[in-house]
């Protein structure tokens, strides 16, 4: 594969809006999760809620794009507006031309909340949806991709990847192939998923939502906490000035079960090995592994076994879902951004919600964040349908 | 980008298989509308057939047609699945429950993910390579094909591509008018495969105005992103047809030329 430069990136979640706020939470070991106080989804659980999304004044969809107005696109815009990301993309657009910059976005539920609300307000007689309901520009999985493309003024190839919780990791792989073949010179990749009834009540129906805050890899874990998040990265052909790079990736399928991972993490192992292979690296070259670590028993046990099979028990690992919650289709980009922050800050984050590590976990789980040289990070993302993706990022001095 | 086509599957009302579709595309016979029998994929066990959604069964059944024509087995191929709205019926059922009792069924929830068809397929066929599920609204056929072609060329390995639309119930069909099922599967290989049906050059090109539908395509299918794929299949069936334009975005087409 070709090494890609990451020339700009940004991320927003319950842990913080923008890179500096997320980095602060990681350094302070401060979880962004809170007891669920959503009056529209009163489930006894914890959530990763971006509160600034709730007021109209905080995020304003431009008048020309009003038809895209929904929680998911507001979240996308909030994230785009952080860290000078729009300006950085503008420079790439000037340099390469708008048709030479691709847009690849991952999501699991897009703006489905708009449809859920519309179904609460169907006409009692005809069953019709409200006249102001818009499917195409809010709920369709591509709605946020099209919105982002319009906000950034890009006309290159675009598409949405929706492979549940690996969605916004897989967009990095897609972008690498497009750039390697010379179809584009740069790509905006990212992921956006916002709180909605479908995922809260859906994961609850699978008995995977914890009544307690999520505690990945803790002996007392009881399931996941759902969060919302958005993030983006600008990828370009590697240049000598670039310091952060995408160096490898692996994508595999479990072929095991729709909603449970392979017990030995067989597909996860192949994804991690493929990422190392593409980068021409060995397990000992990795300084930190950001686990998928959802805090469901099945995920944590399978991933722990897979990591042990590939790395042994030494590589420093943590799941940052205790900071952000499980942000589903946005988990890939959220944790890719955390991987990049770790390299920029030479810092390994801990697990703010863990009390006692499950003794069955044969991995080196970092409980308390610490400063340390971090030159290479792997980030795991696994999804329903057995969709696995491992990304490998590196830093050059 | 140069790739070869190894096998094709087609499912649509009046087009139950590739042989029938070929005669329509070659203009040897006119299109005759006829109901499509509910697809019953052979690879799904009875329990999985019951648990899966009609969209899952449509996507897997059209893939099974293509698999019959190729020596490649499912574990040999990466997978790209693409759909405008893969979860429509399930989303409707979920949103009805969520507007009422909120007692969601776990099966319904895992069926609601866009990658449910690729997940069921991968499990049934032990297909363990990379699997992607694409959506690009009305441009989903070309976007998914582009993703698959890029993967064939970049990885020098075969890719199974399938694009499908299945009908939405009321009231969803009033905002997203997919009224009939249409699905196309293609087995794509690096150029020059020994058993290939054809070799194509595929490129991204600026779009010069709206792309017209083929004359025979029923008006009822104009909301089906997968039905855009019939323009590409015409290259395989009709010797007079050498190039096709598939809408990729408001500004771009995917141009497919027969070599």
Assign 3-class secondary structure to A111-176: CHHHHHHHHHCCCCCCCCCCCCCCHHHHHCCCHHHHHHHHHHCCCCCEEEECCHHHHHHHHHHHHH
Instruction: Please give the pLDDT value at position A240.
Output: 66
Q: What percent of chain B has pLDDT over 90?
A: 93
Do the Cβ atoms of A293 and A319 come closer than 8 Å? yes
pLDDT tier at A362, thresholds 50, 70, 90: confident
Closest approach of chain A CAs to the CA of B214, in angstroms? 24
Give, for all 259 residues of chain B, the pLDDT tens digit.
999 999 999 999 999 999 999 999 998 899 999 999 999 999 999 988 999 999 999 999 999 999 999 999 999 999 999 999 988 899 999 999 999 999 999 999 999 999 999 999 999 999 999 999 999 999 999 999 999 999 999 999 999 999 999 999 999 999 999 999 999 999 999 998 778 999 999 999 999 889 999 999 999 999 999 999 999 999 999 989 999 999 999 999 999 999 9
Closest approach of chain B CAs to the CA of A365, in angstroms? 28
Catalytic residue among A196, A292, A308, A363: A292
Contact of A2 with chain B, judged by CB distance below 8 Å, is answered with: no
Digit-coded pLDDT (tens) for A229-255: 999 999 999 876 669 999 999 999 999
Alpha-carbon separation of residue A276 from A35, A381, B239 (angstroms):
39, 15, 46
Instruction: Please give the pLDDT value at position B95.
Output: 96
Q: Are the beta carbons of A384 and B91 separated by less than 8 Å?
A: no
A345 is catalytic: no
Q: Nearest by CB to B131, which of A142, A177, A387? A: A387
Q: Are the beta carbons of A177 and B84 separated by less than 8 Å?
A: no
Do the Cβ atoms of A14 and A49 come closer than 8 Å? yes
A362 is catalytic: no
Instruction: Please give the pLDDT value at position A1.
Output: 86
Full 3-state SS string of chain A: CCCEEEEEEEEEECCEECHHHHHHHHHHCCCCCEECCCCCCCCCCEEECCHHHCCCCCCCCCHHHHHHCCHHHHHHHHHHCCCCHHHHHHHHHHHHCHHHEEEEEECCCCCHHHHHHHHHCCCCCCCCCCCCCCHHHHHCCCHHHHHHHHHHCCCCCEEEECCHHHHHHHHHHHHHHHHHCCCCCEEEEEEEECCCHHHHHHHHHCCCECCCCCCCCECCCCCECEECEEEEEEEEECCCCCCEEEEEEEEEECCCCCCCCCCCCHHHHHHHHHHHHHHCCCHHHCCEEECCCCCCHHHHHHHHHHHHHHHCCCCEEECCHHHHCECHHHHHHHHHHHHHHHHHHCEECCCCCCCCECCCCCCEECCCCEECCCCEEEEEEEEHHHEEEEEEEEECC
Residues in A touching B103 (Cβ below 8 Å): 205
Which tokens in the block code for residue A339? 């991987």
Q: What percent of chain A has pLDDT over 90?
A: 94
Do the Cβ atoms of A65 and A81 come closer than 8 Å? no
Which tokens in the block code for residue A296? 């469901």
A326 is catalytic: yes
Which tokens in the block code for residue A101? 């910059």
Q: What percent of chain B has pLDDT over 70?
A: 100
- Mark which residues 192-251 of A lie under 8 Å from B by CB: 197-198, 201-206, 251
Residues in B touching A141 (Cβ below 8 Å): 85, 114, 135
Q: Nearest by CB to B95, which of A119, A173, A252? A: A119
pLDDT tier at A271, thresholds 50, 70, 90: very high
pTM value?
A: 0.98
Which residues touch B59 (CB under 8 Å, ≥6 apart)?
B81, B83, B86, B117, B118, B121, B162, B164, B183
The answer to ipTM > 0.90 is yes
């Amino acid at each position: 594969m070709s090494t890609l430069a990451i020339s700009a990136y940004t991320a927003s979640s319950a842990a913080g809006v923008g890179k500096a706020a997320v980095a602060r939470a990681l350094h302070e070991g401060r979880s962004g999760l809170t007891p669920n106080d959503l009056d529209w989804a009163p489930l006894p659980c914890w959530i990763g809620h971006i509160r600034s999304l709730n007021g109209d004044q905080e995020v304003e969809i431009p008048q020309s794009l009003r038809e895209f107005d929904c929680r998911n696109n507001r979240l996308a815009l909030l994230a785009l507006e952080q860290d000078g990301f729009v300006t950085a993309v503008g420079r790439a657009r000037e340099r390469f031309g708008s048709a030479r910059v691709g847009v690849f976005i991952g999501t699991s539920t897009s703006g489905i909340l708009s449809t859920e609300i519309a179904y609460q307000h169907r006409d009692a007689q005809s069953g019709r949806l409200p006249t102001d309901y818009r499917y195409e520009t809010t709920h369709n999985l591509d709605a946020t991709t099209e919105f982002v493309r319009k906000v950034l003024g890009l006309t290159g190839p675009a598409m949405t990847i929706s492979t549940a919780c690996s969605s916004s990791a897989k967009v990095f792989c897609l972008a690498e192939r497009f750039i390697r073949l010379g179809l584009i010179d740069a790509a905006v990749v990212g992921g956006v998923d916002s709180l909605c009834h479908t995922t809260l009540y859906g994961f609850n129906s699978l008995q995977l939502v914890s009544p307690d805050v999520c505690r990945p890899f803790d002996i007392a874990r009881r399931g996941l906490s759902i969060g919302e998040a958005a993030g983006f990265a600008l990828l370009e052909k590697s240049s000598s000035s670039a310091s952060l790079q995408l160096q490898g990736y692996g994508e595999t399928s479990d072929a095991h079960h729709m909603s449970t991972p392979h017990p030995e993490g067989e597909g996860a192992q192949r994804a991690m090995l493929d990422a190392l292979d593409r980068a021409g690296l060995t397990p000992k070259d990795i300084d930190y592994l950001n686990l998928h670590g959802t805090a469901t028993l099945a995920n944590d046990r399978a991933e722990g076994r897979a990591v042990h099979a590939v790395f042994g028990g030494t590589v420093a690992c943590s799941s940052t879902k205790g900071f952000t919650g499980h942000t589903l289709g946005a988990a890939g980009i959220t944790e890719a951004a955390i991987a990049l922050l770790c390299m920029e800050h030479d810092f390994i984050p801990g697990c703010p919600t863990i009390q006692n590590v499950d003794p069955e976990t044969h991995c080196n789980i970092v409980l308390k964040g610490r400063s340390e040289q971090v030159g290479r990070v792997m980030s795991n993302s696994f999804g329903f349908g057995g969709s696995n993706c491992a990304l490998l990022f590196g830093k050059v001095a | 980008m140069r790739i070869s086509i190894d096998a094709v599957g087609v499912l649509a009302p009046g087009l139950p298989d590739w042989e029938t579709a070929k005669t329509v595309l070659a203009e040897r016979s006119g299109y005759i509308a006829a109901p499509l029998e509910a697809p019953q994929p052979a690879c799904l066990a009875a329990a999985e057939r019951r648990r899966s959604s009609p969209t899952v069964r449509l996507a897997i059944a059209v893939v099974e047609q293509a698999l019959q024509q190729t020596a490649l087995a499912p574990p040999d191929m990466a997978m790209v699945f693409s759909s405008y709205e893969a979860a429509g019926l399930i989303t409707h059922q979920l949103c009805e429950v969520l507007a009422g009792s909120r007692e969601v069924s776990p099966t319904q929830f895992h069926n609601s993910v866009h990658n449910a068809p690729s997940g069921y397929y991968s499990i049934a066929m032990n297909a363990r390579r990379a699997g992607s599920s694409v959506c690009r609204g009305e441009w989903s056929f070309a976007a998914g094909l582009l993703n698959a072609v890029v993967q064939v060329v970049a990885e020098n390995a075969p890719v199974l591509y399938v694009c499908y639309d299945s009908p939405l119930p009321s009231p969803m069909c009033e905002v997203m008018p997919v009224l009939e099922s249409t699905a196309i599967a293609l087995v794509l290989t690096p150029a020059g495969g020994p058993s290939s049906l054809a070799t194509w050059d595929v490129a991204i090109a600026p779009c010069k105005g709206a792309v017209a539908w083929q004359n025979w395509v029923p008006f009822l299918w104009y909301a089906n992103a997968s039905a855009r794929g019939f323009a590409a299949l015409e290259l395989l069936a009709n010797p007079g047809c050498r190039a096709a334009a598939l809408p990729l975005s408001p500004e771009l087409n995917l141009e497919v030329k027969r070599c």
